[in-house]
A and B are shown apart, each in its own frame.
Chain A
Amino acid sequence: MMYRMAYNRFTRRQFLGTAGATTTLGVAGCLGGSGGDNGETIRYLSDRGDSSDVVDDIIAEFEEEYDYTVEVTYTSRGTSTDEELSQMLAAGDPPDLVFDTSADAYRYQRDGDLAPVTEAVQDVGLPDPVNVDGDSYFAPTMVEPLMGWYRSDLYEENPTTFETWQSEAQRLSEEEDIDGFVVPTGGTNHADTFTTQHLWQNDVEIYGGPSDDIEVTIDQGDNRERAEEAYAWLQSMNEYAPNGSGWEWGDGTQALQQENAAALMSVGGLPILTIRENRPDLVENLAPTAYPIPDGNGQDEWWAYMEGHVVRNDGEATEGAQEFARFFSESDRFFDFVLSAPLFQWPPTEELMNDDRMSENEILAEHQDAVDLVRDNWDAFTTVLATGDEGAPNIVAADAYSNQLLGQSAEQMIVGGQSPAETVDWIAEELRGLQEE
């Protein structure tokens, strides 16, 4: 009985104390937080985890010079910046600064989420693709043009036209036991850029009109015929390609690396950077090429991503983020950042393209043909955003890219069995649906 009483008294008190303390700690842990930076911490979201060494150095320099701390979140593998940002916003925890594309920047500006970075752009002399009423909302740090890579040991020559690509891809597929081409389809960036660029190659004007009155023109007049031709060409090339439904950049690169495909349209030298690591023996057999054009056409519009910084206006360190965006572009380490992925990332201006550090870079020197391709076509580079009249910002194109509708149109045709004409109808309807939203 004595034992039982002692047990009861001791256990109850101890239990209550422990339970209370645990609960308090648990609740405090759940509610507690970020460490209380009082707005002095700039929260930075970036998908450049591969260049984190350089980014961290630039941040360290910035923190030494300014009274801010930069807390960087690199997107996890397989997660896009859009997805990561959406998750942060859903959690009520927006970043101050985001590394993103110009098309996304324009969408955020449209939604009223951005603070201007005018000084970081106009004072530094950067391109200004998202200028609204004189204010700049996007500070570019690099361009990433699309580019193809083909097996120079298998293809008899650089097949620059629709016609030569088709005959060569057919020959390779039939004679060499390797697919001649890759046709990515579905809701991926790879498929979306691929489809859009092929429409551009056949002079299809998907949109028209000024920024405030964008029209979908892909199914109108001559555009319709040209769009059907471009889709038909993709359909015929798919005969000599693996099933690329849902393929992202990495899937195409893998096909090239594993010698399952003899050519691939990608973004810059992304495939080469991977293949250099995994199959160095293959590198000398790969040559860069432009997207094919029909006989007689020129390289008039060449998709080049423009990526850089946007500053959100709903964070806690907006001014600090604006300072950082400028500091980043002016930093001594900026070029190191661009060259942390040479061939894939290129400087944002032609002037910087001619900088000595470009010619001194070992990887660029090894792939001079790719450098020449970029230099020779610099004036044709454009973003999907600049597809209104006279290159005016096009919000429908930005939304379409965000939803990867063009890539989905290719899937409707290649996987879903629609005809090119039905595909044009489908994409026109989807794009107009975006306008109505």
Chain B
Amino acid sequence: MSAVGTLESRLGELDEKRLLLVATFVPFTLFFVLVWGFPIGYALGMSLFEDPTGTAAFAGLANYADVVTDDLFVTALVNSVVYALSSTLLSLVLGLGLALVVNREIRGGHALRTMMIFPYLLPTLVVIFMWTFLLDPNVGAVNEFLLDNGVIDEPFAFFSSTTWAMPAVVVASVWKYGSFAFFILLARLQAIDPNLYERARVEGASTWQAFRDITVPQLRGAILIIILVRGIWMFNKFDIIYLATGGGPLDVTTTLPIMVYEMAFQGTPDFGGATALAGIMFLLLAVVAVVYFVAFKPEREVAT
């Protein structure tokens, strides 16, 4: 083949690759612009207007100012952080513990692994129905157990108590979402080279030392990703909290997503304020994610 022929052939291949790239890239770009970009841009645009679905008077950043000076904003922000952190960390601890157990050759390990997926598959409504029934002050099994064992003197309405509503919602959330951490950590545990443990044992390392110096470093990347992803999901979580408590009592479980919903769809609708608050949430999470990536570099851990 002549030099010109070779060049033409290479250019032809390049064009085909480019065409394929464009054909692959354009539909997905269009799809994401349509499904993500447009709604996000539309919502952020709405946040700059007073009564955006009605008279739509331009208000600049007034909606943002109104939202952050609202007494409920700080309460909802604190509740969101408390809920996201506690449910994520508890899910992680629970998931890690169970993954370590199941990773060993124990009787019933397969059954336990299968059972762990069930809470994740159950619809949130069913989970909340189950938990409200369990914690019901009058017929709930938990109350009955605590009463029978003399732990409490009278039945306790967990979801209606200012002290216990948030912990109760966190427990229900951990029960439902804990398996996410479990499966990721179990997969990572099973990928650890058993020779590492063998070598450590030969060199006299205790079980604790092996866990600390082999298991934890190997799991670090997965743990960081779980914290980031699960943390963001729980920060934005709406359904399980709203179904359990509706944000009450006295706003002790009102998180930012619930505040957005209440502003938009309850009482006198305030779409401008609701979209501004959604924008603030987006900004907060973006900042947290960037700081997190810069500080911990979880993607490097996963790559290794």
A258 touches B268 (CB 8 A): no
Q: Which residues of A contact B157 (CB under 8 A)?
A: 242-243, 245
Number of interface residues of B (CB under 8 A): 33
Also in contact, A245 and B249, with CB within 8 A (given A8-B16, A92-B53) = yes
- Which residue of A83, A245, A246, A399 contacts B268 across the interface (Cβ within 8 Å)? A399
| A260 at the B interface (CB under 8 A) | yes
| A22 at the B interface (CB under 8 A) | yes
C-alpha gap A423/B119 in the complex (Å): 42
| A100 at the B interface (CB under 8 A) | no
Which residues of chain A from 406 to 437 have a CB within 8 Å of any chain B CB?
A: 411-412, 415-416, 437
Also in contact, A15 and B23, with CB within 8 A (given A245-B248, A411-B249) = yes
C-alpha gap A404/B138 in the complex (Å): 26
Q: Which residues of A contact B265 (CB under 8 A)?
A: 82-83, 86-87, 90
A402 touches B267 (CB 8 A): yes
Q: Which residues of B contact A83 (CB under 8 A)?
A: 265-266
B246 touches A246 (CB 8 A): yes
Interface-forming stretch among A23-31, A207-215, A226-234, A364-372? A23-31
Q: Which residues of B contact A30 (CB under 8 A)?
A: 34-35
- Which residue of B19, B20, B26, B160 contacts A246 across the interface (Cβ within 8 Å)? B160
A242 touches B137 (CB 8 A): yes
Q: Which residues of A contact B35 (CB under 8 A)?
A: 30
A245 touches B160 (CB 8 A): yes
- Which residue of A27, A86, A245, A411 contacts B269 across the interface (Cβ within 8 Å)? A86
Q: Which residues of A contact B20 (CB under 8 A)?
A: 12, 15
C-alpha gap A404/B246 in the complex (Å): 13
Please name the residue on chain B nearest to A77 by beta carbon: B125
Would you give the shortest CB distance from B55 to chain A, in whole angstroms? 10
Counted as pairs of residues, one from A and one from B, with CB atoms less than 8 Å apart, the total is 95
| B182 at the A interface (CB under 8 A) | no
A contact patch SS: helix
Please name the residue on chain A nearest to B22 by beta carbon: A16
Taken residue by residue from 234 to 257, chain A's Cβ proximity to chain B (1 for < 8 Å, 0 otherwise) reads as 000000001111100000000100
B160 touches A243 (CB 8 A): yes
Q: Which residues of B contact A416 (CB under 8 A)?
A: 162, 250
Taken residue by residue from 107 to 139, chain B's Cβ proximity to chain A (1 for < 8 Å, 0 otherwise) reads as 000000000000000000000000000000111
C-alpha gap A27/B161 in the complex (Å): 49
Would you give the shortest CB distance from A306 to chain B, in whole angstroms? 20
Please name the residue on chain A nearest to B31 by beta carbon: A26
C-alpha gap A416/B248 in the complex (Å): 11
| A129 at the B interface (CB under 8 A) | no
B23 touches A246 (CB 8 A): no
A16 touches B19 (CB 8 A): yes
B268 touches A12 (CB 8 A): no
C-alpha gap A27/B138 in the complex (Å): 53
| B80 at the A interface (CB under 8 A) | no
Also in contact, A403 and B139, with CB within 8 A (given A26-B31, A243-B160, A243-B161) = no
Would you give the shortest CB distance from B275 to chain A, in whole angstroms? 9
Q: Which residues of A contact B160 (CB under 8 A)?
A: 243-246, 415
Also in contact, A12 and B19, with CB within 8 A (given A89-B53, A242-B138) = yes
C-alpha gap A359/B29 in the complex (Å): 66
| B83 at the A interface (CB under 8 A) | no
- Which residue of B19, B31, B248 contacts A186 across the interface (Cβ within 8 Å)? B248
Please name the residue on chain B nearest to A107 by beta carbon: B268
- Which residue of A89, A403, A411 contacts B248 across the interface (Cβ within 8 Å)? A411
Also in contact, A86 and B264, with CB within 8 A (given A246-B160, A415-B160) = yes
- Kindly list 9 other residue pairs between chains A and B, CB separation below 8 angstroms, not including A243-B161, A415-B160: A16-B19, A30-B34, A30-B35, A83-B265, A243-B137, A245-B248, A246-B248, A403-B268, A404-B267
Pairs across A and B, CB under 8 Å, 15 listed = A8-B16, A12-B19, A12-B20, A19-B23, A19-B24, A26-B27, A82-B265, A187-B248, A243-B157, A245-B161, A246-B160, A399-B268, A402-B267, A411-B249, A411-B250
A interface list, Cβ under 8 A from B = 8, 12, 15-16, 19-20, 22-23, 26-27, 30, 82-83, 86-87, 89-90, 92, 185-187, 242-246, 255, 258, 260, 399, 402-404, 411-412, 415-416, 437
Ranked nearest first, the 7 interchain pairs of A and B with the lowest CB-CB distance are A243-B157, A245-B160, A260-B138, A403-B267, A245-B249, A86-B265, A243-B160
